[in-house]
Amino acid sequence: MLDAGRAARNKVAHEIAGGVNETFVNVTARETFLTDLEPLIRDMALADRIVCVALSGLSRDPVPTGEALAKYQDTIASWILKLKIVSARQ
């Protein structure tokens, strides 16, 4: 799961980011971009969630609630994709 997060981050940073300018001009390209981006965001959010729980345990900080952890990927994906859509409209 951590490796999937790393691979997703690399794909976003090195592959997908290169064609972003065209994405905000063309509606079809934007939809494809968001469709391709969502599973990568979810992979990164899952890896982040795992690291967060591990670090909380190591530092003896409170671990986030089960409910917060269960919704984490959806919350992050929704937030990022909403930002992308709003940015595209401006």
Query: For 51-66, what is each residue's pLDDT tens digit?
Result: 999 999 899 988 888 8
43 by Cβ neighbours in 10 Å (0-12 / 13-18 / 19+) ranks as: buried
In this predicted model, which residue has the larger pLDDT, 19 or 87? 19
Which spans in the chain are helix H?
2-14, 20-23, 27-59, 66-89
User: Nearest to residue 72, comparing CAs of 57, 50, 55, 87?
Assistant: 50
CA 35 to each of CA 15, 39, 78: distance values in angstroms, whole numbers, following the listed order: 15, 8, 12
Give the residue-averaged pLDDT of 77-89.
66
Q: Which residue has the tokens 């530092």?
A: 59
Could you tell me the pLDDT band of residue 45, with boundaries at 50, 70 and 90? very high
Q: Give 8's pLDDT tier (boundaries 50, 70, 90).
A: very high
Q: Is the pTM of this model over 0.95?
A: no
